[in-house]
Structure 1
Amino acid sequence: MSTHIVEVGPRDGLQNEATVLSPGERAEFVRRLVQAGARRIETASFVHPKRVPQMAGAEEVMAEVPRTAADGSAVSHIGLVLNERGLERALAAECDEVNLVAITTETFSQRNQGASVTDVLDATTRMLKTAKAEGVFTSVTISAAFGCPFEGEVSTEQVMRVVRAVAPEEPDEIALADTIGVGVPVDVSRLVRAVRNETDAQLRAHFHNTRNTGYANALMAAAEGVVALDASSGGFGGCPFAPAATGNIATEDLVYALHRSGIDVGLTVEDLVGPADWITQKLGAEEAPALLGRAGNFPG
């Protein structure tokens, strides 16, 4: 499978913003992203609205989003799931995929999911069984794979503990997430190669540009054969439970870098600037973190 983009703007891009958009506005954002060419989208988060009010009304969002694009191609909608109740909701809302989350460190696991790493891994294996029995594509995101906001450095062995716990359930995909944007390309190579030695699952990567290394990391991941790269329209995003977890890499900026590197992901910068401008205005931001909307494509 060739490299492709997973658009996470409707979920990770919005979950930490002060402006709370309605389910209808979030569904409209998804529609605009589909029109721009996005075909795999993290559309909703099935978390308790008291924990993340920006993600309230996930079922309403899923009821309104397009399931096919104007050209007839299918759109795959991903629901983020943190617990078994969330999984029930995502399946009932007919998500095409579910993205489960396991964290490498105890402190962050308690802050994010209110449970120990062991308990989360036990629940994740149960949820994988349930989701696979329903025929839903399954991803497991290993959060804080490159570093923890509370405990600092994260070792390869801490990441592999999660991989070894979930690999026997054969998830369709394993994602390495740099939740706080601390990784560098050599870390990407180290972790991708370690995970590949343990499982045949499709690999995905999720980077933040907090310390200006996100795009370099994404290019390294693509060079290492990672199939899917997460990116957020306009470069918005962050984790509400991780201090200073700013800025997902921007979809339009990443597409530019990939295209200039000879990697075609089926998207164009010109099409992507429109949804980014729209969500920037909706969030009341002066400008998006992304740069392509300001600099323009090259050649123009």
Structure 2
Amino acid sequence: MPILAGSDPAALDAAAEALARGELVALPTETVYGLGARADDDAAVAAIFAAKGRPSDHPLIVHVSDAAQAERFAAGLPPVARRLMEAFWPGPLTVIVPRREGIGTAAAGGQDTIGLRCPSHPVARALLARAQALGVAGVAAPSANRFGRVSPTRASHVADEFGAQLLVLDGGDCDVGIESAIVDCSRGRPVLLRPGVLTSAQIEAAAGEPLHAPDGSAPRASGTLEQHYAPHATVRLMPLAQLRTALDVLPADALRASKGSNKLAVYSRSLASVPRGLRLARMPADAQAAAQELFATLRDLDAEGVTLIWVEDPPDEPAWAGVRDRLRRAAAAGR
């Protein structure tokens, strides 16, 4: 099926009807594109795991239209979860809460907790409303890519991953560009399991209490494996000084081999140039702009045939935590 315009009411109706039938649909959110299935149908959710090649015990995030729909899946919403939902929904924040028995078992990876998010993208919201009118309680939707690979931020990225058989709603480029922050609200104190574009200070201010680091009691959550978000090229993170030194001592035969093929790329905020024959991709100096284009840049470099990407370490600042997290996990695959 071709990519359909998310602004087309007929396309939205077709996507909602497909979800109601238990079929897969790719939808845009403000973070990344998701591969969606109705979360109240374990067989439909199983198709997500199969399509992505994702382990069935690695939980998915359920997308809901509002707090009322969230309560279909929650066995009570802890007060801190309600405060975060009021502050950031619709938006790029997922809360993990106790799961209501008998619903969302597959989406939760069999756990007694479940991750819930209310997206702000207008196409996602319109689709959720139409699907809800057809009896769909919520939409489980991990990133629409093969498991462990770079998340998609354009409809064309999804089509590249899954081909023409998947219904894809086109909502344009994703504004945020990296996945939501995830806060576990199920253990009596809020725990940040995955950073996003919201800073810890912003989340703590809304929560009214400090965030804690994960420990052995934290539930499994989406996008928290050590190796994740990886392009086909090997990613290596370096401080700027180390990156400059590496470029200075790069063997001449390596430079000759790279000419015309862009086998080595450099992704940097600080460098204005690299040795001739290498590919320089400029990382924005602004953290939100860097997040918005990060995955698209990695995908573009893969498409160019790059096999190695040297990346300048992002700043060790709160606003950059989400970008640092994604690059660290992308680089873990090459260690």
Instruction: Give the TM-score, by structure 2 length.
Output: 0.27
Name which one, 1 or 2, has greater alpha-carbon Rg: 2
What TM-score do you get using the length of structure 1 for normalisation? 0.29
